[in-house]
């Protein structure tokens, strides 16, 4: 077996009610002055209230509730300023990937006073960081178990920090926090989790490893059996729990065997047109995978995943034939879940394809992991197919 490294969150607490009954443990990690990072929608819905109530009896809490989708560098630095003035001893990220990503880097910058410009990229963040606990309220990003944080800079470019230093001390996975999630968000984030598993499994990363592959396969099995029920019967607690577990496992997989071309081409959709990340992935997913199966190894890997996600699917002895069916089934699933199928349906002009292709080339840390090399011309052709 080749050598590899595998890092993930130190502690996981999973189950209904864990957002409140873990309060004593969370307080023991974070100290007396907690910076609580979330978004305005969750604050308005009151979703944070019970957790805040459970924590505030033995601590002082300041709430920053202005995290937006595709959070900006300006937002990150605003949170850091709040944390410095408050003299925070620990950080909570409560929400989707945006709030958790901001919380990771806020804990890093408050704990180390690092220059964010020197932290971008892989293994450049040195730490230390403040104690950190994450509460996911969507089942998609897996951010609660990944050493990755993505921030939008310069208006429309996404940059990432990838370092084990920003893995949290605890992740609290409480399905009760996802019960009120609208069906279209449940669908998009669920497909996002599937993309994490698929890309992590097929990644050309030198750190692609047996642990990531095992977790990716199990994630697809769990997500495949639960996503329709979670979307169409959103109060089903078992389906919601499964979605959180599948998302977490996919996060562990790609957190160590990084994602690739689907994400690289999805980022310009989010950065320029503010399309939600899960939907961005869904829109380009079948087209990138069809491009990749010209590589025989990629076709074999997708064929291996097919029965995990679609156990009723007819499996051929021909890997390419099976992988084509797998991709077609993914596209059909996205449509069945009610997700938009074309870029034009989101008012993205056709002439934007060229700039998006150019912007996608900036995601070199992702493109290097793709099973097949993607040139700017290839990216343009893929966007045209998605349009």
- Buried/exposed 73-111: b ≥16 CB within 10 Å, e otherwise: eebbebbbebbeebebbbbbbbbbbbbbbbbbbbbbbbb
Query: What's residue 154's pLDDT?
Result: 83
- pLDDT-derived band at 222 (thresholds 50, 70, 90) equals very high
Query: What's residue 98's pLDDT?
Result: 96
Query: What's residue 57's pLDDT?
Result: 86
Handedness of CA 75, 81, 84, 85 (dihedral sign): negative
**Judgement on whether residues 303 and 285 belong to the same structural domain of the protein:** yes
Which has more confidence, 158 or 377? 377
pTM: 0.95
- For residue 155, pLDDT over 80 is answered with no
- The pair of structure tokens assigned to 72 is 């900006």
Beta strands in the chain (DSSP E): 11-14, 33-37, 60-64, 90-95, 121-122, 132-136, 148-153, 157-162, 170-173
For residue 344, tell me if it sits in a domain. Answer: yes
**Judgement on whether residues 174 and 224 belong to the same structural domain of the protein:** no
How, if at all, do strands 170-173 and 60-64 pair? unpaired
**Judgement on whether residues 165 and 305 belong to the same structural domain of the protein:** no
For residue 318, tell me if it sits in a domain. Answer: yes
Query: What's residue 282's pLDDT?
Result: 98
**Judgement on whether residues 238 and 380 belong to the same structural domain of the protein:** yes
Domain end call among 155, 178, 201: 178
Which has more confidence, 98 or 271? 98
Domain end call among 157, 178, 199: 178
Integer Cα distance of 372 and 299 in angstroms: 11
**Judgement on whether residues 162 and 193 belong to the same structural domain of the protein:** no
**Judgement on whether residues 170 and 311 belong to the same structural domain of the protein:** no
For residue 289, tell me if it sits in a domain. Answer: yes
**Judgement on whether residues 166 and 205 belong to the same structural domain of the protein:** no
Integer Cα distance of 223 and 250 in angstroms: 10
What residues contact residue 3 under an 8 Å CB cut-off, 6+ apart?
Answer: none
Q: Which domain holds residue 44?
A: 11-178
Query: What's residue 156's pLDDT?
Result: 79
For residue 4, tell me if it sits in a domain. Answer: no
The pLDDT tens digits for 103-112 are 999 999 999 9
The pLDDT tens digits for 3-27 are 999 999 999 999 999 999 999 999 9
The pLDDT tens digits for 52-91 are 999 998 899 999 999 999 899 999 999 999 999 999 999 9
**Judgement on whether residues 192 and 162 belong to the same structural domain of the protein:** no
Cis peptide before 318 (omega within 30 of 0): no
For residue 1, tell me if it sits in a domain. Answer: no
**Judgement on whether residues 125 and 214 belong to the same structural domain of the protein:** no
For residue 231, the tally of other CB atoms under 10 A from its CB is 23
| Count of structural domains, the chain | 2
- For residue 1, pLDDT over 80 is answered with no
Give the rounded percent of residues in the chain with a pLDDT score beyond 90: 95
- For every residue of 248-294, DSSP letters joined together read HHHHHHHTTS---HHHHHHHHHHHHH---HHHHHHHHHHHHHHHHTT
How high is the mean pLDDT of the chain? Answer: 96
For residue 49, tell me if it sits in a domain. Answer: yes
Cβ proximity of 254 and 192 under 8 Å: no
For residue 314, tell me if it sits in a domain. Answer: yes
- pLDDT-derived band at 221 (thresholds 50, 70, 90) equals very high
Domain end call among 178, 213, 229: 178
- The pair of structure tokens assigned to 173 is 């996975």
Q: Give the domain CATH number at 112.
A: 3.40.50.1970
Out of 151-165, 170-184, 241-255, least confident range: 151-165
The pLDDT tens digits for 334-384 are 999 999 999 999 999 999 999 999 999 999 999 999 999 999 999 999 999
For residue 3, tell me if it sits in a domain. Answer: no
**Judgement on whether residues 123 and 173 belong to the same structural domain of the protein:** yes
- The pair of structure tokens assigned to 78 is 């605003």
- pLDDT-derived band at 157 (thresholds 50, 70, 90) equals confident
Integer Cα distance of 171 and 134 in angstroms: 5
Question: Mean pLDDT, to the nearest integer, of 220-228?
Answer: 98
The pLDDT tens digits for 301-329 are 999 999 999 999 988 899 999 999 999 99
Helix (H), strand (E) at residue 152: strand 148-153
- For residue 176, pLDDT over 90 is answered with yes
For tokens 């047109």, what's the residue? 273
- pLDDT-derived band at 277 (thresholds 50, 70, 90) equals very high
**Judgement on whether residues 189 and 173 belong to the same structural domain of the protein:** no
Cβ proximity of 49 and 270 under 8 Å: no
Question: Mean pLDDT, to the nearest integer, of 150-159?
Answer: 88
**Judgement on whether residues 223 and 241 belong to the same structural domain of the protein:** yes
Q: Give the domain CATH number at 336.
A: 1.20.1090.10
């Amino acid at each position: 077996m080749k050598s590899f490294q595998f890092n993930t969150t130190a502690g996981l607490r999973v189950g209904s009610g864990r957002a409140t009954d873990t309060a004593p443990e969370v307080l023991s990690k974070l100290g007396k002055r907690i910076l609580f990072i979330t978004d305005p929608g969750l604050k308005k819905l009151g979703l944070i209230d019970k957790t805040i109530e459970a924590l505030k009896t033995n601590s002082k809490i300041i709430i920053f509730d202005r995290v937006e989708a595709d959070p900006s560098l300006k937002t990150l630095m605003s949170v850091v300023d709040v944390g410095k003035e408050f003299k925070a001893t620990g950080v909570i990220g409560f929400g989707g990937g945006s709030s958790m990503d901001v919380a990771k880097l806020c804990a890093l910058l408050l704990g180390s006073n690092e220059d964010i410009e020197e932290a971008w990229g892989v293994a450049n963040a040195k730490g230390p960081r403040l104690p950190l606990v994450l509460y996911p309220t969507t089942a998609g990003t897996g951010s609660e178990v990944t050493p990755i944080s993505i921030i939008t800079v310069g208006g429309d470019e996404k940059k990432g920090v990838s370092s084990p230093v920003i893995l949290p001390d605890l992740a609290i996975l409480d399905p009760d926090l996802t019960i009120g999630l609208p069906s279209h968000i449940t669908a998009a984030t669920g497909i996002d989790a599937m993309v994490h598993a698929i890309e992590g499994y097929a990644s050309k990363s030198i750190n692609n490893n047996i642990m990531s592959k095992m977790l990716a396969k199990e994630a697809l099995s769990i997500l495949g059996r639960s996503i329709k029920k979670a979307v169409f019967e959103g109060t089903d607690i078992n389906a919601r729990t499964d979605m959180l577990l599948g998302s977490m496992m996919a996060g562990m997989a790609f957190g160590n065997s990084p994602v690739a071309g689907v994400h690289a081409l999805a980022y310009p959709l989010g950065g320029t047109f503010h399309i939600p990340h899960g939907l961005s992935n869904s829109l380009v997913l079948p087209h990138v995978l069809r491009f990749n199966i010209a590589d025989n190894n990629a076709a074999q890997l997708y064929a291996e995943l097919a029965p995990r996600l679609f156990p009723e699917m007819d499996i051929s002895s021909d890997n390419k034939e099976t992988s084509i069916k797998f991709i077609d089934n993914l596209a059909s699933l996205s449509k069945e879940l009610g997700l938009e199928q074309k870029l034009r349906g989101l008012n993205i002009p056709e002439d934007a394809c060229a700039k998006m292709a150019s912007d996608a080339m900036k995601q070199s840390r992702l493109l290097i992991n793709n099973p097949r090399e993607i040139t700017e011309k290839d990216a343009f052709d893929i966007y045209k197919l998605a349009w």
